[in-house]
Amino acid sequence: MTDTTATRPKRKGSEAARSKISRIVESWFLTDPLLFVAWTMHEAVANESVATIRVARGKVEFNPEFIHSVRRDDLRNVLVFEATRILLGHPYARRQPRSDLSYSASNITIQECLRTPLPMPFSKDVFGDASLDHQYFEFYYNQLAARADESPPPPSENKNKDEPKSDHDDESSDGPPTNAPSESESEQPESAPENASESEAENEAGAPAPTGGAGEGSGEGSGHGSEGSPASPEMDSYVDPTQVGTENAGDWDADDLFHDEIITAIGEAEKSGQWGTLPGTVRERLLATLRPPLDYRGVLRNFRQSVLSVDRRLTRMKPSRRYGFAQMGSRYDFSTRLLLAVDVSGSMSHRELREGFSVANQFFKYGIREIDVVWFDTKIHGEPISLRRARSSIEIKGRGGTDFRCVIDLIDEKRNYDGAIIFTDGLAPKPRPPNNRRTKLMWLFSTQAAYNKMHRDLADLGRSAFIKPSAVPIR
C-alpha cells in the first residue's frame, strides 16, 4: 500500500506533463495540420532517464520535470522544433557517425529555417560566417566534424586527484570533458527567473505560437524567449549538445518505412496547401524531399558523351565496310582531353575533397583515358597533373579563399580541352563567361544546398549537378 501511494505523485506528474503537451498539439489540428500529423505518428512516452525531450524510433520521449519546468510559450516552440525535426527526416534518413555533432547540426539547420526565439544557435553564431546561412544538415555536420578534427584533444578524465585545481577547473567542472564542436563553447545568455504571471485561462486559450516566421522572435541568436522575455533556465540543457546531444541523437537510424510515411504526409500537404504557419524556408526544404535527387553519375555520363572526341586513322588490319580488304579500313581512338578543377579552399572539408577526386576516377570507367587535374582556391596551384589511371590519394595545396576566375583564365589560356569540370562548394561569386567557347563547362557541387543556391545563375556557363549524400558511405 505504501509503495502504491509513493508512486502516485510521479504518475500524476507524468500525466500532467502529457496533458500539457497534448493541449498544444491538439491546437495544431486546425492551425498546423502537418505538424499535427507528424507528431501523432509518434507515441508520446514519459521517461525520467531522458534529460529533456527526444525523437527516435517512432517515439517522443520526454522527462516530465523538464516539461513542467519550461514556460508554455517555450514548450510550444520546443514541440514545433521537434515536429520540424521529424518532417526533415533527421532521425530517420540523415544519420551521421557522431551523435553529438548530428544533434548540433540538426539544431542549426532547424533554427535557420524556423528562426525561433529559443536560445538555439544560428549558423553565424557557430561559424562566424553569414555566407554559411541556410545550408543543409549534412553540410553543417561536415563543417562541425572538420572543426572537431582540428580542435585539440580534451583534458583527460583521469586527472590526478591530488593535483591542485585552478580557478578555471572550478568554473568548468559542471560537465564532463567532451569533443563537442565550437558552438557549444559559445556564451549562453544569462537566463532570468521564470515569469510566473501566466494565467491558467491563457494556457487554455491556445493562442498561436511564434514558429519563427514573418519576423517573429527577438532577433537572431538572441537567446530570448517569447515576447522578449528571457528563455527558461532549463532550456540550457536542451540546446547544449555537450549535455544531451549523444542522448537525443544516439538512437537515430535509417527507417525507410517511417520516412516514407513522413514523405507521404508532406505530399498531401502540398496537394491540399495545408502548410499552416510553417515559414516558407521550411516548405522549400520539405518540398525538396519530394523531388528525386539528381544523380550526378548520369549527368557525368551525358557530359562525357557531349565532349567525347575521336581520332580516325586508316589501317590495313581492318577491312573497309564498303570495299572489304581492297581498301584500308578505319580505326577510331578516343582523344578526349578533360580538365578537372578541384576547389581546395578552406571551406572544403577533407571528405568533400575525397569525393572530388573520386569523380576523376569515375571518368576512367566511362572510356576517358587521361584527365588533367588542377586544384585552386584564389589561384591555380601548380601545373595540371595528367592522370592515366585511378588514384586513391593525391597531395593537395592551397586552403585559402575561393575565386573561379583563375579557372576561367586557365580555360582561356589552354584551349585544347574538350570539357572542364569544376568541383566546388560554391562559396564564391559567379565568374565571367570564358572567351573559349570550345571547352564545355560542368559545375559539380559538393552539396545540394550549394547546387540550389547557384545552379540557376550558372546555367549560361554550363551544366550543373551535385553529389548527393547517399552517394558516399555514411557508416
Distance CA 163, CA 275 (A): 59
354-382 confidence digits (pLDDT tens): 776 676 666 665 556 678 888 888 889 87
Distance CA 351, CA 139 (A): 11
89-102 confidence digits (pLDDT tens): 999 988 889 999 99
Q: pTM score > 0.75 for this model? A: no
SS3 58: coil
Q: Kindly report the CA angle at 391 between 386 and 395, in degrees rounded to 5?
A: 75
For the residues 72-90, what does the mean pLDDT come to?
94
- Predicted local confidence at residue 465, as pLDDT: 83
Under CATH, which architecture does the 296-471 domain have? 3-Layer(aba) Sandwich (3.40)
Mean confidence (pLDDT) of the chain = 74
Burial of 360 (0-12, 13-18, 19+ CB in 10 A): buried
Residue 218: pLDDT over 70: no
Burial of 191 (0-12, 13-18, 19+ CB in 10 A): middle
Q: Kindly report the CA angle at 43 between 9 and 140, in degrees rounded to 5?
A: 110
315-330 confidence digits (pLDDT tens): 666 666 666 666 766 6
Residue 144: pLDDT over 90: yes
- Predicted local confidence at residue 398, as pLDDT: 54
Residue 473: pLDDT over 90: no
Distance CA 306, CA 322 (A): 29
Which candidate, 266, 271, 246, 245, places its Cα nearest to that of 89? 266
Domains in the chain: boundaries: 2-152+174-190+209-288, 296-471
Q: Concatenated DSSP letters for 385-436?
A: EEESS--S-------S---THHHHHHHHH-TT-SEEEEEE---SPPPPPPS-
